[in-house]
A and B are shown apart, each in its own frame.
Chain A
Amino acid sequence: MASAAFTVSSPAASAVAARSKVLRGGKGEARTGCRVGITRKNFSRVMMAVAVDISRFEGVPMAPPDPILGVSEAFRADKNDLKLNLGVGAYRTEELQPYVLNVVKKAENLMLEKGENKEYLPIEGLAAFNKATAELLFGADNPVIKQGRVATLQSLSGTGSLRLAAAFIQRYFPEAKVLISSPTWGNHKNIFNDARVPWSEYRYYDPKTVGLDFEGMIADIQAAPDGSFVLLHGCAHNPTGIDPTPEQWEKIADVIQEKKHMPFFDVAYQGFASGSLDEDASSVRLFVERGLEVFVAQSYSKNLGLYAERIGAINVVCSAPEVANRVKSQLKRLARPMYSNPPIHGARIVANVVGDPAMFGEWKQEMEEMAGRIKNVRQKLYDSLSAKDKSGKDWSFILRQIGMFSYTGLNKTQSDNMTDKWHIYMTKDGRISLAGLSLAKCEYLADAIIDSFHNVS
């Protein structure tokens, strides 16, 4: 064997030479997957012969950019002054700046003062956080909480909660299917695909009314095999912004109960939709009150602005406390080989904010302000569209929709026009994030929407 000494810091050139030495000495069949050093002299010959041997991952194709997160990447690359990012659902101030809640800054400073350690959390996460989260979702005096019937695991925001639940479904309900709304958040399908849980869609969005296709929704949930998991958006449906009315929720609960389906809520906007934590949780609580077992994936990304801290929880309301214990133990078994235990920072922020009455009050205040700003922006956008659009089209769906997003009704080509001509970045399904819109930009946006809607097909 060549005696090339493989020192820790060999310069690039000699490393190439060293690689050549190693591999010339190897057996013929061993060249598969080994990198062949290319010296300038043999360049052309070697290129032809060994292109396939450069890497074992040579056949790995380039993946397309994420349809949602990829929008921000494209936005960042755009040099035009007029550009507007209505892609990701991250709240922005009127000045279109990211927003860290004051109460979050307070909590972090408090945590700095306390100087707590950074030991591993248990697999299920921070106990104080789990308690606070379940109470926030179901109401502190809800019987399910008092009876200890809720299994709560801190997880990696909404995505992580959904993924844990999906893994649980795959393992313990392998025959079951998940029903997801058409449309739904783009990543839902990816989550169930990767977890190998089959899914199908129920009708939801009616393009004719730019509203809810309630009949279709009920029919499709009815038609599904008994015992399906029905994925419901607790409030502020993403991407449409269209929520069922309380009466409609009752009927949805009826059919789910009748078919012995499992309700599976995705709650990413509690408090952010209406401004009220309790009001936004009313759909979930309706189901729980009927005595049903319920899955709830929950996130603090938007309502506490903790996006990057990845903080949320998977909650399973069970029929009895000992059932909740068993469910929790099995969820832990799925979390351990995924990430061992969840990150502490976001959990502590939540526990501090929710645990202190003054901070909790401040939080509710800031949340109302965020929700309020979005409502104002909706109004301004509606007013601008109504004033500028002479076609008589009814834009009032913008006011009826709720939450961070609005489904404009623009199709892919029209959405492309928004980006290509107007430098307005949005997802290709016609969804705009009102959280990324300022009052100042409403008129510009209205112009773009009107142009795209009427002049592009």
Chain B
Amino acid sequence: MPSANVRGAQPSAERRLSTLVRHLLPSSARTAAAATTTSAADFLEAFPTMASSSVFAGLAQAPEDPILGVTVAYNKDPSPVKLNLGVGAYRTEEGKPLVLNVVRRAEQMLINNPSRVKEYLPITGLAEFNKLSAKLIFGADSPAIQENRVATVQCLSGTGSLRVGGEFLARHYHERTIYIPLPTWGNHPKVFTLAGLTVRSYRYYDPATRGLDFQGLLEDLSSAPSGAIVLLHACAHNPTGVDPTLDQWEQIRQLMRSKSLLPFFDSAYQGFATGSLDKDAQSVRMFVADGGELLMAQSYAKNMGLYGERVGALSIVCGSADVAVRVESQLKLVIRPMYSNPPIHGASIVATILKDSNMFNEWTVELKGMADRIISMRQQLFDALKTRGTPGDWSHIIKQIGMFTFTGLNSDQVAFMRQEYHIYMTSDGRISMAGLSTRTIPHLADAIHAAVTKLK
């Protein structure tokens, strides 16, 4: 019998069955069974559904995903004042999920279009979507695009783009090490490890300043082997909200190019950080402008609110158009045995919006609305803590950018806030500003104040 590969001994089928008997029979039956020397066969007759012990007998229960598990726990909590600051999904002032008006319009157009079909997309996805996505992140007049040096494939949001890019590099790139910032999104190391890369980290967050450890970053990238891959958050670093300045980006770029380090950008918040699509793409475009190569994982989960539709794109900016063609052909070989071709719905919505100038403008307005609300939440939380005289310097709340704030709270304080105030966040102290409202800020401020004054 094939048995699940687990650490520890593999009990025999007979022993497993006996264990099952002990656990499942009510105590009286167990005593009776023991008295009459029940054999496995007798047991099988009494419980025909347990026809054979399982090949998965030794399989352990996996823990809940640490980020998505926060929502699971939140859902179970009956408290009326509970607050979910776990997942980075935007909420309105009323605490409700938001589907953008322009998205609803686009969807209506698509569904009411009688000539629309559901044929398989090409492996690389919706061509129109790919072109528009590349233009969005690199700029319509980007030399890389004009020179046909960009290979873009539609993927399953940010995660899918990172995974496909990682797998491609593991197969075709000479350096198998990727450097990720410390800290980074919890799923990054898993994605790259399963893709076949070795994960190392470079210093990023400085707990002392609650800002960027720029010196540490430069040192660590300087000592990376030539050609190593470096993961960069294009803007609105997750989880810290700490971004390099443009000057710092320029220094990072020069250092990386001088060491031939390969940039792999993760852009999950374009337009969502500052409210401006172009501003949020500046770091990326800086690297493209110097003519070098890079990878770009792009997601529309947040900036178009298309979370569950899983829309994103992987772009690889190559040294020449010929290389881009070959790279694209190899990306197809990664995708086909993973899911064959990507889902059409979300990509069609995006393409519909991006190619229509009215809808595009509508989108930028709604996007800015979301970004502005988050910036306002930052200010309000900062003010609330100041009003309460909460000890410590909380200016990082307004200095950090994007959906998340790295509060600096430790795991004890986080647990305290969950237990006493029913506030849910990831154990690293990251809160999603998008989950806050003017109404709930006082509750959060009280909780932080209590946590900081009662626990160290």
Contact = CB atoms under 8 A, between A and B. Distances in A.
Interface of A: 1, 6-12, 15-16, 18-19, 22-23, 26-27, 29-30, 32-35, 37, 54-63, 66, 69, 73, 88, 90, 98-100, 104, 108-109, 112, 115, 117-123, 143, 147, 149, 156-157, 159-160, 163, 171-176, 187, 190-191, 193-195, 226-229, 260-262, 290-293, 301, 305-310, 318-320, 323, 325-327, 329-330, 332-334, 336-346
Contact of B59 (A147, A172, A190): A172
A338 B52 contact: no
Contacts of A292: 51-52
A56 B4 contact: no
Given A69-B336, A172-B59, A325-B61, A293 B54 contact: yes
B54 A98 contact: no
Interface stretch (B322-330, B354-362, B414-422): B322-330
Contacts of A61: 326, 330
B215 interface: no
Contacts of B174: 56
B310 A341 contact: yes
B182 interface: no
Contacts of A147: 49
Interface in B53-99: 53-57, 59-63, 65, 68, 72, 87, 89, 97-99
A157 B65 contact: no
Contact of A337 (B187, B260, B344): B187
A309 B345 contact: yes
B55 A22 contact: no
A119 to B, nearest CB: 5
Contacts of B194: 334, 337-338
A159 B337 contact: yes
Interface of B: 1-6, 20, 48-57, 59-63, 65, 68, 72, 87, 89, 97-99, 103-104, 107-108, 111, 116-123, 139, 141-143, 146-147, 156-157, 159-160, 163, 172-174, 187, 190-191, 193-194, 226-227, 250, 254, 257-260, 262, 278, 281-282, 285-286, 289-293, 301, 305-310, 316, 318-320, 323, 325-327, 329-330, 332-334, 336-346
Contacts of A149: 49
B332 A63 contact: yes
Contacts of A330: 59-60, 62
A227 B108 contact: no
13 contacts: A6-B286, A12-B143, A15-B289, A54-B319, A57-B173, A57-B327, A69-B122, A118-B308, A156-B340, A157-B339, A159-B340, A323-B54, A327-B59
B336 A119 contact: no
Contacts of B50: 319-320
Given A191-B337, A260-B1, A62 B326 contact: yes
Contact of A308 (B55, B59, B68, B119): B119
Nearest to A111: B111
A261 B1 CA distance: 7
Contacts of B72: 122
B338 A55 contact: no
A29 B290 CA distance: 18
Nearest to B259: A30
Nearest to A319: B54
A176 B117 CA distance: 41
Given A16-B291, A319-B56, 8 more contacts: A9-B139, A56-B174, A176-B2, A293-B55, A326-B59, A338-B160, A340-B159, A345-B345
Given A30-B258, A262-B2, A60 B327 contact: yes
Contacts of A343: 156, 308-310, 343, 345-346
A55 B54 contact: no
Contacts of B345: 309, 343, 345-346
A56 B163 contact: no
Given A62-B326, A63-B329, A119-B97, A32 B260 contact: yes
A22 B286 CA distance: 12
B254 A1 contact: yes
B339 A160 contact: yes
Contacts of A15: 143, 289, 291
B85 to A, nearest CB: 15
A8 B285 CA distance: 6
Nearest to B24: A320
A364 B278 CA distance: 50
Nearest to B194: A337
Contact of B320 (A55, A308, A333): A55
Most chain B beta carbons < 10 A, residue from A104, A119, A340, A345: A340
A317 B272 CA distance: 43
Contact of A336 (B5, B187, B292): B187
B2 A187 contact: no
